Structure 1
Amino acid sequence: MKIHHIGPMTVNPYQRQLAKTERLAAGKANGDQVEISKEAKELQEASSWEQARQAKLDELRRQIENGAYQVDPRAVAKRMIEYYRNHR
């Protein structure tokens, strides 16, 4: 049995799929998005902590050089006891 085509075939399923894909792609936004993780935000904040820490160290260094730095022995002893009680 032979099947003869009477006219040219104008149906191309691949072309219809391509057109559908292009329509869907055109409807989507073309922009990229960036999300910063919680850990990355904490690292950014750590930079400001580092500056504050450095300022405090500079102030302590200045006091020590001038002889104005005073150590409270009771406060040091209290903190040492607290440390060893909490880290058994």
Structure 2
Amino acid sequence: MKINNLGPINVNPYKKNMSKVDNLPKTSTKTDKVEISTAALELRQNSKVVLERAERVEALRHQVEAGTYSVDAESVAKSVIQYFKSN
């Protein structure tokens, strides 16, 4: 049985649809935006916790620079064990 070509060779049926897609109007992509009020920023900067943390970090920094900082291995081990027990 011989089959003859009935139409053009290498016809892509999706080619017509692609031209329709190209002609669609371009939509802009929307992005999320977060704004923190000046009052919230002010509260964060003046927070007692933030100030205490900054003092603690500064004290640790001085100890490390002076070479007097030492790590309590037992305390670290206990906190690691506690962390894995709770998870």
TM-score, normalised relative to structure 2 = 0.47
Higher share in helix? 1
Q: What is the TM-score normalised by the length of structure 1?
A: 0.46
